[in-house]
Amino acid sequence: MMRRTGLSGRFISHHFRRLLTVWTQFCSILPTEKHENMAGGKTVEQTVKAADKQRPMYAAVWRWHFYAGIIFAPFLIILALSGAVYLFKPQIESALYGHLYEVDKVGEKRLSLVELTERVKEKYPHDSVVSVTLEKEANRTVKIGMMDKGEMVFAFVNPYTGKVQGALRADENWTEIAKKIHSELLIGGTAANRFVELAACWGFILLATGLYLWWPRQSFSVLGTFWPRWRAKKRLAWRDWHAVTGIWLSIGILLLIVTGMPWTGVMGEAINRVATATNTGYPPFAFSFGPKPESKVVTKDVAQDVPWAAEQLPVPSVHTHNTTSLSLDDVYAIAEAKKVKKPFTISLPQGPKGVFTVATSKTKPWDNATLHIDQYSGRVLSDVRFSDYGALAKAITIGIAFHEGRLFGLANQLVNLVFCLGLVFLCVSGFVMWRKRKPKDGFGAPARVKDPQAAKTVWGGMIAAGIVMPLFALSLAAIWLFDRFVVQKIPSIRRFLAA
């Protein structure tokens, strides 16, 4: 046959193997022996054409997945590790600061809050007291917040003896440092916060594109899809572990990304606007002082430990000729009468027209409470609980509790730890796969797809994601400009990036 047709043996062998592979994969699922009719009525030729059409799309998605990982994987690792540390905030703080947080012996009678704050003022005469936090455990100290030259410092005082057991600056608390790394990369400021949000947005893109790349196309096998091939070697083994880990943990990692968005500067504000416009945030009827309070200050600016849903709650101003303010013990009694569950924080009024704010948000979501109390009359000006939240505010509050590992105790912490470590493994394994395929004289990026339809389809998906994530949309615009006016204009960069 070779002599009669004039075809080379390599040509015949290549196409014969290709046809045999496709035939074997699809004929294995045939209900009859009629091989020309594939499942769904497709012939072998149609199947080959369908596979050929998928290749440009696959390559286009892979290219986006690759660059998203190369650029943002290091920051996702930072977010995952710092988040994993903050998950265990109670255990870590108990181990590091037990000498501050706990008393040696539980007494029979507690001293008044007024007396406790006086003891703190005696020891720190130049600091001003701004808050008092009470825990539910009998062996816990009372935490008194003070401002020292614009910096927050917490003093810890024995509620039975009045002994000040020590103080801790907020920015020196290791879990707070982890939190700042997680939210602001430790640098702080708006730019760092926006970059963290951008990394989270691209984390979502990595999950979506990774799912597309994982999706079985021509054949299905549990090994390599839902379970790694144990005998696979080198890059194939890394590919299996990368893909299988991603598919098993994708929903959990997505939950962590989504539940973290309410804290972000752009998406968080957009969520706030949606909640306000749809009346699904905090309820206007919770204000006993009327729908348009005079104060333009919001709760998060004057109080600590405020639930997310109550952060934008306007703080009412007090108008009275009375000059005698309530004591902390009076406010504590009001909080107890209103059945506010500990731990809660009492934030002191800021000025003669300010109010006392009682807030709790560090335990279960349904225990959330935010009360504003007239500092002179003791009248409760507003009282917002979890049951008062709108549907969106309730969902976000529950999501935040899950994100921080507070929703269902230690099990929640351990589950989230698996998701965080899984995300780290995905980033590291992706890097290893790249290094194994990277040539010595190139970047090793997937080549630009020449099929315009595939490129347009993927760009369309990215733009659709940008509608939901505005900061991501800005990054897309920056990518397009960089590609159009830098990559395409400089041949060396174009060759290096396989563009």
Count of alpha carbons within 13 angstroms of residue 423, beta-carbon side = 32
* Token pair listed for 285: 């009827």
- Give pLDDT, residue 27: 37
Nearest to 167 by CA among 157, 180, 178: 157
- The alpha carbon torsion through 408, 410, 412, 414 (nearest 10 deg) reads -170
Residue in this structure with the two tokens 């225990």, named with its chain if needed: 367
Q: Is 226 exposed, middle or buried (0-12, 13-18, 19+ CB in 10 A)?
A: middle
How much is the pLDDT for 40?
41
Alpha carbon 81 to chain centroid, angstroms: 12
Q: pLDDT value at position 186?
A: 81
What local confidence, expressed as pLDDT, does residue 181 receive? Answer: 94
**Can you point out the beta strands (E) in 111-206?**
128-134, 142-148, 151-157, 164-169
Token pair listed for 173: 């608390």
Q: Letter for the amino acid at 187?
A: I
185-191 contacts, C-beta under 8 A, 24 or more apart: 185/75, 185/78, 190/265
* Helices 267-277, 470-482: inter-axial angle, 10-degree rounding: 140
Quick one: DSSP state of residue 102? B
- CB 117 within 8 Å of CB 129: yes
Q: What pTM does this model have?
A: 0.81
Which amino acid makes up residue 484?
Answer: R
Q: What is the pLDDT of residue 65?
A: 95
What is each CA distance from 318 to 349, 351, 353, 377, in whole angstroms? Answer: 10, 10, 5, 10
Phi, psi of 452 (to 5 degrees): -65, -35
CA-closest candidate to residue 357, choices 312, 405, 304: 304
* Predicted local distance difference test score (pLDDT) of residue 94: 95
Task: Kindly report the number of other CB atoms within 10 A of residue 450's CB atom.
Answer: 9
Q: Measured between alpha carbons, how far is 299 from 167 in angstroms, rounded to an integer?
A: 26
DSSP assignment letter at 484: I
For the chain, first and last CA: distance in Å?
Answer: 43
Give pLDDT, residue 362.
Answer: 86
Q: Is 208 helix (H, G, I), strand (E, B) or coil?
A: helix
Q: What is the pLDDT of residue 296?
A: 53
Neighbours of 115 (CB within 10 A): 14
Coil, strand or helix at 225: coil
Q: Are 407 and 398 in contact (CB under 8 A)?
A: yes
pLDDT value of position 495: 84
Residue 471's H or E segment, with its range, is: helix 470-482
The CA radius of gyration of the chain, in Å to the nearest whole number, is 30
Place of tokens 């090994």: 223
Q: Which token pair is 444?
A: 């090793």
**Residue type at position 498:** A
114: tokens are 């007024």
User: Residue 54: what pLDDT?
Assistant: 65
**What residues pair up with 155 in beta bridges, in sequence order?**
144, 167
Q: Which residues pair with 347 in a beta bridge?
A: 131, 357
In tens digits, the chain (499 residues) has pLDDT values of 334 444 344 443 444 344 434 434 433 333 333 333 333 444 434 444 444 456 889 999 999 999 999 999 999 999 999 999 999 999 999 999 999 999 999 999 999 999 999 999 999 999 999 999 999 999 999 999 999 988 999 999 999 999 999 999 999 999 999 999 999 888 878 899 999 999 999 999 999 999 999 988 766 677 767 888 887 788 888 988 999 999 999 999 999 999 999 888 899 888 888 888 888 876 653 433 333 233 556 777 766 677 766 777 777 776 665 668 899 999 999 999 999 999 999 999 888 888 898 989 888 999 999 898 988 889 898 888 999 889 998 999 999 999 999 999 999 999 999 999 999 999 999 999 999 888 887 788 888 888 999 999 999 999 999 999 999 999 999 999 998 889 888 988 888 887 7
Residue 220: the pLDDT is 65
Residue 343 carries which side chain, given as an amino acid letter?
A: P
Is 483 in contact with 499 (CB distance < 8 Å)? yes
